[in-house]
């Protein structure tokens, strides 16, 4: 029986399976454990089930000599120092596939919300500004027949593309080795939806120059990672009307401080990282995260190992 630390309660019953085989300590609070507490709780464990809000850096890994397996309750691993983990022979698992369709649903919902200015319309309806029906009030953009540019045609990007066909959209995409170039995609697209992983090559990918290439009628959607978009540049682009709007499920940092420039930017729809937030998806993530940890602690390959050190 191994000792395991889980950094938050998870939906469903997956943690009961973990507790049936190992000694499990679950962080009981709503907010993540502070760095000092995370390090202390991890110091003597063999298995760690963490969230993307937990920074698993080299210092933490060095302080946990018994640690053999890290199961990240997320698709990505940008919160984990993969090189440090690999150098200590620690297995790393993630939770892909089970949240693909759910996140694609949210991405397309954000496309529609940005296009039809739903956040502004809802605020006006609740705020007493709904005085009459006006022909030129809250005019948005058509989604049907528009061009959708997908940055990163992985699992979620492909799922968004499938949804776009139902709206008769022209879909173009940009990736490391296929599709059109990023500049062409930005120039042609009416909606740009980001689905690439966060790594050294993509951090700050959508910067001031990139935003300047987009149409003044275009809209940016990000359900990947906040740091792929330069927040200061996006706030400037929205204030100066370089683009018509943006809809974000992710932002850098999370949560944003009260003075984050994007919080006052016009034309922005912002939701708090809910891409996978359905009962079914989050419970499936928990099941896979536990499967990863159980397999590694039993000396078996994880069913969903992290793929890259990028």
Which tens digits make up the pLDDT trace of 212-247? 999 999 999 999 999 999 999 999 999 999 999 999
* Residue written as token pair 């809802």: 122
Extents of the domains making up the chain: 3-98+279-297, 100-270
pLDDT at residue 175 is higher than 90: no
The mean per-residue pLDDT over the stretch 33-44 comes to 98
Question: How do residues 135-153 score in pLDDT, each as one tens digit?
Answer: 999 999 999 999 999 999 9
What is residue 308's predicted lDDT score, i.e. its pLDDT? 55
At residue 291, φ and ψ (nearest 5 deg) are: -60, -40
* pTM for the full predicted model: 0.94
Whether 254 has a pLDDT exceeding 50, the answer reads: yes
Is the model's pLDDT at 309 over the cut of 60? no
Residue 42: predicted pLDDT: 98
Question: Closest by alpha carbon to 210, among 179, 178, 174, 177?
Answer: 174
Q: Do 100-270 and 3-98+279-297 fall under one CATH topology?
A: yes
User: What is residue 209's predicted lDDT score, i.e. its pLDDT?
Assistant: 98
| Pair 173, 151: CB distance under 8 Å | yes
Q: What's the CATH superfamily of 100-270?
A: NAD(P)-binding Rossmann-like Domain (3.40.50.720)
Cα separations in angstroms, 280 against 163, 183, 233, 268: 20, 37, 36, 28
Q: pLDDT band at 115, cuts 50/70/90?
A: very high
Nearest residue to 247 (alpha-carbon basis) of 113, 95, 51: 113
Q: What pLDDT sits at residue 307?
A: 79
Residue 310 CB coordination number (10 Å): 12
Higher pLDDT, 308 or 200: 200
pLDDT at 277: 98
pLDDT tens per residue across span 261-291: 999 999 999 999 999 999 999 999 999 999 9
Q: What is the mean pLDDT of the chain?
A: 96
- Cβ burial, residue 49 (10 Å; 0-12/13-18/19+): buried
Dihedral sign, Cα of residue 228, residue 232, residue 238, residue 243: negative
User: Distances in Å between the alpha carbon of 286 and those of 6, 15, 293?
Assistant: 11, 8, 11
**For residues 42-49, average pLDDT:** 98
In this model, does residue 164 exceed pLDDT 60?
yes
What are the DSSP calls for 211-227, one per residue?
Answer: HHHS-TT-EEEE-S-GG
Catalytically active residues are 225, 254, 273
Q: What does the pLDDT look like over 18-32, one tens digit per residue?
A: 999 999 999 999 999
Given this model, what pLDDT does residue 310 score?
A: 43
Query: In the CATH scheme, what architecture does the domain 3-98+279-297 have?
Result: 3-Layer(aba) Sandwich (3.40)
d(CA 132, CA 129): 9
pLDDT at 104 over 90: yes
Q: Could you give the percent of the chain with pLDDT greater than 70?
A: 99
> What's the chain's Rg over C-alpha atoms?
21
CA trace torsion 99, 103, 104, 107 (10° rounding): -170
Q: What 3-state class would DSSP assign to 115? A: helix
Is the pLDDT at 110 greater than 50? The verdict is yes
* pLDDT for the residue numbered 200: 93
Sheet holding 23-26, edge to edge: 23-26, 3-6, 47-51, 69-73, 91-93
On the question of pLDDT at 79 being above 80, the answer is: yes
């Amino acid at each position: 029986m191994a000792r395991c630390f889980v950094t938050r309660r998870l939906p469903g019953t997956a943690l009961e399976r973990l507790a049936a085989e190992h000694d499990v300590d679950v962080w009981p609070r709503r907010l993540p454990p502070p760095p000092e507490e995370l390090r202390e709780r991890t110091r003597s464990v063999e298995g760690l089930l963490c969230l993307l809000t937990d920074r698993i850096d080299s210092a933490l890994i060095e302080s946990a000599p018994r640690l053999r397996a890290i199961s990240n309750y997320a698709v990505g691993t940008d919160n984990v120092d993969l090189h440090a983990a690999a150098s200590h022979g620690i297995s790393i698992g993630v939770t892909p596939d089970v949240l693909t369709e759910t996140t694609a649903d949210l991405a397309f919902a954000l496309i529609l919300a940005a296009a039809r200015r739903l956040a502004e319309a809802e605020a006006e309806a609740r705020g007493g500004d709904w005085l009459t029906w006006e022909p030129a009030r809250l005019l948005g953009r058509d989604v049907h027949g528009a061009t959708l540019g997908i940055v990163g045609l992985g699992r979620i990007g492909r799922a968004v593309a499938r949804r776009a066909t139902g709206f008769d959209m022209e879909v173009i995409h940009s990736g490391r080795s296929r599709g059109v170039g990023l500049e062409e995609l930005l120039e042609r697209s009416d909606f740009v939806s980001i689905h690439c992983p966060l790594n050294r090559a993509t951090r700050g990918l959508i910067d001031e120059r990139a935003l300047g290439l987009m149409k003044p009628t275009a809209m940016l959607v990000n359900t990947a990672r906040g740091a792929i978009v330069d927040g200061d540049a996006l706030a400037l682009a929205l204030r100066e009307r370089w683009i018509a709007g943006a809809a974000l499920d992710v932002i850098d940092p999370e949560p944003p401080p009260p003075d984050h420039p994007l919080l006052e930017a016009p034309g922005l729809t912002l939701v708090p990282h809910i891409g996978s937030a359905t009962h079914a998806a989050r419970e499936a993530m928990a099941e896979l995260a536990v499967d990863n940890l159980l397999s590694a602690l039993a000396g078996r390959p994880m069913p969903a190992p992290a793929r890259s050190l990028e």
